[in-house]
Every structure is written in C-alpha cells, then in structure tokens.
Amino acid sequence: MPTLTRICTAVAALLTINEVLPIVQGAKLPNQPRPYLVSFDKAIVEDIRLRASDFRPTANIDVPVWSDGAPGSNLTSIAKYWASEFDFGKFENEINSNFSHYITTVSPPGDAYNRSLDIHFIHQISRRRDAIPILFLHGWPSTSLEWTKIIPSLVTPPNGSLPAFHAIAPDLPGYGFSPAPTAGGLGPKEHAIAFADLMQQLGYNRYVVYSTDLGSPVAHQILEKFSQRIINHITDFFLIAPNSTDQARYAAKTTTAEETAYINSLDYFGTYPQIPAVMESITYIY
C-alpha cells in the first residue's frame, strides 16, 4: 500500500501549482455521476459465511512453520472470523459514512467493446483551492476500497506544506461495485478510454494517475492516449516486462547498471516453471 509521504513527495517533486492549473473544465457531458449507496447483497453475505463455516483444514505436517504454506491454525482462525465475527453491516455503514460513492455511465470505449459501462467510484473533494485531482487504479483482486486508508490524508493533509488532492478511486468493471462487462473485448485500452471519460464527466482536464498491479497497464494506456491530460503517473507495480528494444540493449550491453540488474533478476525469476506464462501475459497486456 502506498504511503501519504511517498505520493506527496513524488507529485510535489514534479510539479508546481502553476503547472497544474487549470485542472477543472466547465463542459458537461451527457452522462453525469449519480450518488450511490453501498449495499451488500444479503444472499452473498450468507453464502460467504456458509463457505467459511464449512472450511476444514488439512492435516498438520511436522515442518517449520510457514515453510509449506499457511498453518492450519491460521486458516481456521481466518475462517472463523469470516463465518461469525466480521460485522458486514457495520463495515457497510462505515464505508457509506466515511466516503462519497457515485456511479456513472461511460460511453462505449471503442470498437472492441461497443457497449456503455457503469462504473462505481469514490470521489472525495478537498477544500483546498490548489488541490490536484488524482485518479487511483487498483489491482487484482482488489477494489477502490484499497485506497481508503490514504484518501482522507490526501484530501485533507496534516499540514499546509503538503499538496492536497481531489481523490477519484473507481472500481474496475467486474470488481467491487462496478458491474461486470457483458461481452469480451474490454482490454487495457478500453479501460483507459472509459476512465478518461469518467474524469471528463467530473470536470477534470488534468490529473495525476496512481496505479498498482492490474491498474498499471490501464494507466499506461491513459498515458499513451491522453498524455496531454496527465500531470504525473506513479506506479508501485513490481513487474514490468522488458520490451524488444530493452532486450536488444541488454544483449548489446548498453543498459544501465540498474536496468541490467532488473533484467538479470527477471531472468532468474523466469527459472521457476510457472513464471513464463505470467511474463507472457504481462507482455500481452502492455
């Protein structure tokens, strides 16, 4: 999880307030966000509790703790927590009370996916006039709630020396409270167009993008297609596959020491049998 200091430092180092204004535009689009009340489906909640209560641990093996997976006692404790201790109603009330939720419809993002999309998102507006819009893109398997621990301090920083932000945290389609896509073809490029549409609906014509994991290739597509709108992009995704140009420079020994170390580490990582498929999928989505 990113920290407030990391985000503020990274953004502040690359911009001044003169560089980010104007960040709000007056044009209105046909689709407009509507307030959204988070409501957990009672049938799904009961199904989660039932599945958790049916958990049966495997037999304990006489090996050092965690050397062969999670201990049965840990998993049993987690299952008990979800089956009988976690208060879904309390959590539902907390996320509704502490954050402003909306849902909006975005236009079809292209020929590959020619249907409109409904997107749920958190939108917390700072009182600071110099606040900078920041679009958060979560990973897999996660939701917009991933960002709720840092959003309050970004919207209302602890002191005036830190930049303030308007926080926009959508759920990717099919995650959290955003309905799943109804057809194939919704790739990173289409996600990028959809989220750029969302930011236009909110009136933000310049903004920062912070991405992680699955949100990272979406953010890269936003940078490629809408570069004039992006103030800065920050990602904490740990695995970016070198492209053909990178590999050619590596073979010619013209990569930097840092790049060389990174490619060497990926080569070692690739000695594990399951990793080539992972790397191939990452190369594809980028």
Architecture of the structural domain at 99-239: 3-Layer(aba) Sandwich (3.40)
Q: Which are the contacts of 78, defined by CB distance < 8 A and separation ≥ 6?
A: none
Confidence of residue 274 (pLDDT cuts 50, 70, 90): low
Has residue 192 got a pLDDT over 70? yes
Strand pairing report for 132-137 and 207-211: parallel
pTM of the model: 0.79
Residue 172 has pLDDT above 50, yes or no: yes
The CATH 3.40.50.1820 portion of the chain extends over: 99-239
User: In the predicted model, is pLDDT for residue 1 greater than 60?
Assistant: no
Q: Say whether pLDDT at 60 is over 90.
A: no
Q: Average pLDDT, stretch 246-255?
A: 96
